[in-house]
Amino acid sequence: MREIRYYPARWADNRIAMGARASRRPIEIFAAIFVAAGFIYSLHLGTDALGASEAYSAWAAGKQGVGAIVRTPVLHDPGKQVFYYVILHYYTRIFGMSEASLRSLSVIFSLATLVLVFAIGCEMFDDNTALAAAAMWAFNPLAVVFAHTARMYSMLIAIALAQLWTLWRVRKRPSASGAVACGIAGAALLYTHLGGILFIGVGVAMLVRDYIGGKRNPMAWLAIAITMALFMPYVPVARAQSETLIAGHWLDWIGTGYEYPLPLKILVALAAAAVALRFVVSQTGVSDTDGQLVWLGAWTILPGLMLGAGSVVIRPMFNLRYVAPSTATLALLAAAGLARVSVKWRNLLLAGFALACLIMLPFDRPDPQPWRDFARQVSQGGSSDPVFFESGFVSTGNAPSVANDGFPFGYYSVPFDYYFHGSNPRIAIPGFDSPSARMTVEERVLSAGGGWLVSWKDGDAVDSELPDPKRFRAVEKYRGEHLAFYRITPVGK
């Protein structure tokens, strides 16, 4: 009898030990992925010069106090909210304002995103699905780009996923503390970027779906109410920013409307509404996985669908950065969806995808920014030569020249001043008034004997503000996307 009791007991102990090892294996592999991702995200942080938008992050973070930081997006960087700038302000007070320091905060948020992808996968599905999604997200080019950029987008992804995770948890296990945590995460999302309203809207739509299906969860609705209450004081500012963006036709958010036929606009609007309604009224199948896939599908598809439809019906407004959180949940959706077909093939495909991303990383680096070279060239010229920057909202193509107060000091003066500290005068010329800009350039260049122009206009548009070629010589030193650099001197000098 002792042997009969002994061997099953030992066999049971072995099963427990083997199960514990099996359950630890995904976590151990995830830890290895996390370390590898941290190494890759940290490469070359200080090698390349800051881009124009990254320099704005540095400029905002360098303000003297929170009050000045809060006014920055209102006056000069509409659409981007204050939370990232405040966090970056205190972060750089500790670690400095170098390129590596500014970008390292994005590395931290990117690693937090990786943890949240794994956590959401474990919460909604299982450890292996979470691991597959983490492997797919960790090394893809988008994740690496966001980690290497000193902007709020890595923070936007992390906070959006935190809001999704806490909303799902409070939906499954209602509690007042969970509702408060979810509400705070939602408010932080809105204070990070106006695009966060898309994801809050998807959450509301999915809770409506629950309500239609007979699931009453007051704690989840309390979380949404807390989010709205915390963001309410900022609504007037957000509204003013949106109106400014639309009026200014700003390059980085919205452009002039396309001349699509009215029937096409109506058709696109109805199609987008039908897709959104389908997510809301769809019913959960026999397996609860259906509900999880619907939630992830809505979160992944609807924000981009709304911006895409709005681009046709109203004005161009779609940009992948603004739906960046959807790119992270796409990894979860792919991992869970492929598992329903074949777990083996899912694992092989996602492992191959991660390996391909790793192979491509050395060839996927963006072109270096030219601001260090600009600063060097100006420093080699005369110290009295003025540097001209176009004020106003950045517009391209057929955007009308609308007088506005956007970027009164010149959009590109901020990245230039990050690298150039000489005494050369910085002069803002109205980008929306070419004749006036041309007159100012001619007068100041003639007086100083030379000058420099940093322009966001393309070749045809910038010609209208370059000085008279009979009296001045303008040499194009650089031409990139929405960026040109000219050396201007009087003829004969």
> What pLDDT, in 10s, does the model give residues 266-285?
999 999 999 999 999 876 54
Tokens linked to 83: 């939370």
Between residues 371 and 217, the one the model is more confident about:
371
What mean pLDDT do residues 100-122 have?
97
Question: Is residue 451 a contact partner of residue 92, using CB atoms and an 8 Å limit?
Answer: no
Helix (H) or strand (E) holding 71: helix 66-75
What's the residue count for the chain?
Answer: 493
Q: Among 74-83, 254-263, 266-275, name the one with the lowest average pLDDT.
A: 74-83
Q: Among 59-68, 82-91, 96-105, name the one with the lowest average pLDDT.
A: 59-68
pLDDT band at residue 355 using 50, 70 and 90 as cut-offs:
confident
- Rounded distance, CA 462 to CA 399, Å? 14
- Rounded distance, CA 56 to CA 149, Å? 12
- Rounded distance, CA 211 to CA 188, Å? 26
Phi then psi for residue 74, to 5 deg, are: -65, -40
Q: What is the DSSP letter of 489?
A: E
Question: Is residue 485 a contact partner of residue 478, using CB atoms and an 8 Å limit?
Answer: yes
Over the chain, what is the mean pLDDT?
86
Burial grade of 94 (CB within 10 A; 0-12, 13-18, 19 or more) = exposed
Q: Among 8-17, 317-326, 361-370, name the one with the lowest average pLDDT.
A: 8-17
Share of the chain above pLDDT 70, in %: 86
Between residues 23 and 117, the one the model is more confident about:
117
What mean pLDDT do residues 334-357 have?
89
Cβ neighbours of 433 (radius 10 Å): 17
pLDDT band at residue 79 using 50, 70 and 90 as cut-offs:
low
- Rounded distance, CA 388 to CA 409, Å? 10
Please tell me the predicted confidence (pLDDT) of residue 16: 39
Please tell me the predicted confidence (pLDDT) of residue 64: 86
pLDDT band at residue 8 using 50, 70 and 90 as cut-offs:
very low
Q: Among 36-50, 177-191, 235-249, 469-483, name the one with the lowest average pLDDT.
A: 235-249
pLDDT band at residue 5 using 50, 70 and 90 as cut-offs:
very low
Between residues 196 and 314, the one the model is more confident about:
196
Share of the chain above pLDDT 90, in %: 58
- Rounded distance, CA 256 to CA 316, Å? 7
What mean pLDDT do residues 87-103 have?
95
Residue type, 161: L
pLDDT band at residue 19 using 50, 70 and 90 as cut-offs:
very low
Q: What is the DSSP letter of 389?
A: E
Tokens linked to 374: 């600009």
Please tell me the predicted confidence (pLDDT) of residue 354: 86
Tokens linked to 64: 């003297």
Residue type, 8: P
Please tell me the predicted confidence (pLDDT) of residue 11: 38
pLDDT above 50: residue 228: yes
pLDDT band at residue 216 using 50, 70 and 90 as cut-offs:
confident
pLDDT in tens, 394-433: 766 555 566 777 788 888 999 999 999 999 999 999 988 8
pLDDT band at residue 127 using 50, 70 and 90 as cut-offs:
very high
Please tell me the predicted confidence (pLDDT) of residue 4: 43
Between residues 76 and 112, the one the model is more confident about:
112
What mean pLDDT do residues 311-336 have?
90
Tokens linked to 305: 């669908």
What mean pLDDT do residues 17-25 have?
54
Q: What is the DSSP letter of 216?
A: -
